[in-house]
Structure 1
Amino acid sequence: MPDRNQAALDFLLSRRSRPAKTLAAPGPSRDELEVILTAGARTPDHGKLEPWRFIVIEGAAFDRLGKLVGTRGAALGKSDQDIAKAVKQFEDGVTCIAVVESPKASDKIPAIEQTYSAGAVCLALVNAGLASGWGANWLTGWHCFDREFLQEGLGLAAHESLAGLIYLGTEQVAPPERPRPDLKEITTWISA
């Protein structure tokens, strides 16, 4: 029988993201963030390509990015509601890790697998944040796909994209449990 890490299983079977809008200061310190980032960087990266990188957003950067989102939303003709929702993400932010998908040329590793790896990093960071005692949430939105916002706001190169924004902070309200998938409905067993 393999060694069982019951504490890790219990965590994974009960983990629950915390809505970003319910997170408040304080957020993790730089030392605490480095532990979370280190855990995220252990994600399988398909051939050691490291097809992702991190940008830590804190302090006045939230205000700058919120204003840019407002400007970009207006330029794109987004509704007032869509703009306000995106701006609020940054107004409410305490600490955020932007996960940048930064694909590498490879004859062996397809681009889609590099995309999957970047998504896996996002979940690893959320889980590491939760396991460290912080509230954590993975968010996106229309602004995460707007090239001008990504280039001007976060300095992304033309070949890069944003896999997600991982918000971290102190949990103010424990969210209720939500319905989970019915395994019978989503699982097929093949044995022959």
Structure 2
Amino acid sequence: MDAIDLLINRHSCNQLIAPAPSGEALDNIIHAGLRAPDHGGLSPWRFIIIEGEGLKTLSRYFQDAAFILGKTEKDVLKAANAPFRAPQIITIIARIEDHPKIPESEQLMSAGCVVMAMQMAAQAQGFNGIWRTGWFAYDSHIKQKLELEEKDEIVGFLYLGTPEVVCKKIRQLNTDSFVTRMDN
């Protein structure tokens, strides 16, 4: 697949089954993420790859967090089932540093670019995924269980696997709705 075709036809897929990326394919995904724009060379990202028994552990974290927040029984069950939507989840964490020239917002945007690059690398290799956040990404209990530092931010959970279905055709957007030109 050519790079332009990949970029302009990017799409998420939320119905994922095994196999998940592994070996060289997973290495490619990680390396693509490490090439994200990175002002000052801070490398303000970390990854937690969750699969197999790790999905059960993450399920318990999500379930416990939902219970602690007083969510309904239905929402607690939904939280417990969330990790099983894909055979692999890569949690992308922005490891925020206090820096005199590089604001927190740039470090967060860099980590966001990591997620996009990783998803594109997965898709280029025949896999797919979906970038999810939801309340899970902002919950202090989950951050504690994942052993994150106080300033760390979960930028996303990148669910990866093999598409179980033919993904929906992406919607076409009119560029005129988004572009303003300054020619003079």
Q: Could you say which residue in structure 1 is the equivalent of 2:157?
A: 165
Among residues 53, 56, 63, which one is paired with 1:60 in the alignment?
53
Q: CA 1:80/1:190 → structure 2, altered by over 3 Å: closer, same or farther?
A: farther
Q: What is the identity, as a one-letter code, of the residue corresponding to 1:35?
A: N
Among residues 105, 109, 130, which one is paired with 2:98 in the alignment?
105
Find runs of 4+ consecutive structure 1 residues off by over 6 angstroms: none
Which stretch shifts more, 7-16 or 154-163? 7-16
**What are structure 1's unaligned runs of at least 5 residues?**
1-5
3-state secondary structure, aligned to 1:47: helix
Q: Could you say which residue in structure 2 is the equivalent of 1:135?
A: 128
**What are structure 2's unaligned runs of at least 5 residues?**
none
Among residues 111, 130, 139, which one is paired with 1:118 in the alignment?
111
| Identity between Structure 1 and Structure 2 (%) | 35
User: Which TM-score applies when normalising by structure 2?
Assistant: 0.93
What do the CA deviations read for 1:161-184 (whole angstroms, capped 9, x no partner)?
A: 100011111111012113233211
- The answer as to 2:88 corresponding to 1:95 is yes
Q: Is the 8 A contact 2:128 2:163 kept in 1?
A: yes
Q: What is the identity, as a one-letter code, of the residue corresponding to 2:3?
A: A
- The answer as to 2:36 corresponding to 1:49 is no
Pairwise CA RMSD: 1.6
Q: CA 1:191/1:82 → structure 2, altered by over 3 Å: closer, same or farther?
A: farther
Q: CA deviation at 1:96?
A: 1.2
What do the CA deviations read for 1:15-45 (whole angstroms, capped 9, x no partner)?
A: 21111xx101111113321111001100011
Q: CA deviation at 1:108?
A: 1.1
Q: What is the identity, as a one-letter code, of the residue corresponding to 1:87?
A: A
Q: How many residues align?
A: 184
3-state secondary structure, aligned to 1:151: helix
Q: CA 1:178/1:32 → structure 2, altered by over 3 Å: closer, same or farther?
A: closer
